[in-house]
């Protein structure tokens, strides 16, 4: 169990950024949709094909300078089976380039069922004499509303296959505080969740000081980032909400330690829709995504300084 490979990729690329692949059809340039629909019609298969071509173009363009991608399962599931196939294909393709793949599924259930999700995304499944990896990913986001016995199957799989999880602590959305900010014996729920991350990661290998149990903390809540960084010294942060949701880079400084480690910042819409914002030729959508990633990298490296593993 660890996030070591992710951390090493961040240092290698000098880029604490993860590209969120949350594609909706309206983000996809017309020429790609035309090609996909010509082949498969205006069907779920056609839509999924368009998403696949779109993702592939972006991954081809950015793989050398971004350590990780985070496909959001919701956007693949909404295209049914054909969409789930594209999720698989996307994860596999990113991995071939050596990118770290975080499946954003926020999965959760009671222990015996969480085992199923753990096998699906972090482990292997035995069929007779053979073993299979159902979905080729390196880490999964999970929701811990059900408590420890809903998390143990995930950490068990992480131990066995050297993978990682990110537990929802303080999410980036406006109403996250409805439950997460409430006080229990004077301690906010997000802090209770954060402390559980430290606990669940206690026995994890920590080559770079961080365990295999990370925490999701939104860029839209900079005070909580600062507070949690102080209170959770061994927990790596996955930070969504940068850009389109309003999180700003200066607010993120507190997430990082003196080596520039400690978190990875997600950007989805700003990357996927860069071509629309730039108003560039739609054929150049992947180039626009790359330019946005470089802009973001420069912004973040300004606050982290040179990223060092030691």
Site for a copy of itself in 91-110 (CB under 8 A): 106-110
Closer to a copy of itself by Cβ: residue 111 or 287: 111
Under a CB-based contact definition with an 8 Å cutoff, are residues 198 and 234 in contact? yes
Among 16, 29, 150, 222, binds a copy of itself (CB under 8 A): 150
Q: What is the Cα–Cα distance from 247 to 175, expressed in whole angstroms? A: 15
Q: Is 135 in the site for a copy of itself (CB under 8 A)?
A: yes
CB of 19 to a copy of itself, least distance (A): 16
CA distance 35 to 50: 8
- The 17-36 contact track toward a copy of itself, x by CB under 8 A, reads -----x-xx-----------
CA-CA distance, 123 to 107, in Å (whole number)? Answer: 14
78 near a copy of itself, judged by CB under 8 A: yes
Q: Residue 111's Cα: distance from chain center in Å?
A: 23
Residue 138, C-beta contacts closer than 8 angstroms, at least 6 positions apart: 5, 6, 95, 100, 101, 102, 163, 164
Q: Which of 106, 159, 206, 253 is flagged as catalytic?
A: 106
Residue from 14, 35, 95, 143 binding a copy of itself (CB under 8 A): 143
Tell me which residue of 119, 175, 117, 123 sits closest to 144, measured CA to CA.
117
Active site includes 106?
Answer: yes
Beta strand pairing call for 183-184 and 187-188: antiparallel
Closer CB to a copy of itself, residue 81 or residue 207?
Answer: 81
Integer Cα distance of 8 and 245 in angstroms: 28
Residue 148 sits in the site that holds a copy of itself (CB under 8 A): yes
Q: Which stretch binds a copy of itself (CB under 8 A): 127-135, 228-236, 255-263, 284-292?
A: 127-135
Binding flag, residue 192, a copy of itself (CB under 8 A): yes
Which residue in the set 59, 144, 290, 293 belongs to the binding site for a copy of itself (CB under 8 A)?
A: 144
| Residue 39 interacting with a copy of itself (CB under 8 A) | no
Catalytic residue IDs? 106
């Amino acid at each position: 169990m660890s996030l070591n490979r992710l951390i090493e990729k961040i240092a290698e690329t000098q880029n604490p950024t993860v590209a969120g692949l949350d594609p909706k059809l309206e983000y996809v340039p017309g020429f790609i949709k035309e090609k996909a629909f010509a082949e498969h019609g205006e069907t779920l298969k056609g839509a999924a094909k368009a998403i696949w071509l779109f993702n592939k173009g972006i991954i081809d363009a950015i793989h050398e300078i971004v350590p990780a991608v985070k496909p959001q399962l919701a956007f693949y599931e909404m295209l049914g089976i054909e969409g789930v196939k594209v999720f698989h294909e996307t994860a596999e393709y990113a991995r071939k380039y050596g990118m770290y793949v975080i499946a954003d599924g926020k999965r959760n259930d009671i222990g015996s069922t969480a085992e199923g999700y753990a096998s699906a995304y972090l482990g292997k499944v035995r069929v007779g004499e053979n073993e299979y990896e159902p979905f080729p990913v390196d880490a999964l986001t999970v929701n811990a509303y059900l408590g420890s016995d809903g998390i143990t199957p995930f950490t068990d799989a992480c131990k066995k296959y050297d993978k990682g999880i990110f537990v929802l602590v303080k999410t980036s959305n406006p109403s996250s505080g409805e439950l997460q900010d409430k006080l229990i014996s004077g301690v906010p729920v997000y802090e209770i969740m954060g402390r559980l991350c430290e606990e669940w990661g206690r026995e994890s290998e920590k080559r770079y000081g961080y365990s295999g149990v990370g925490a999701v903390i939104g860029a839209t809540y900079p005070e909580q980032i600062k507070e949690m960084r102080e209170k959770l010294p061994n927990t790596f942060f996955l930070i969504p909400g940068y850009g389109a949701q309003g999180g700003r880079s200066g607010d993120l400084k507190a997430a990082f330690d003196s080596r520039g480690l400690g978190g990875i910042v997600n950007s989805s819409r700003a990357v996927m829709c860069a071509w629309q914002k730039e108003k560039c030729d739609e054929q150049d959508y992947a180039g626009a995504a790359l330019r946005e990633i470089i802009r973001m990298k420069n912004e973040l490296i300004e606050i982290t300084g040179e990223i060092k593993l030691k």
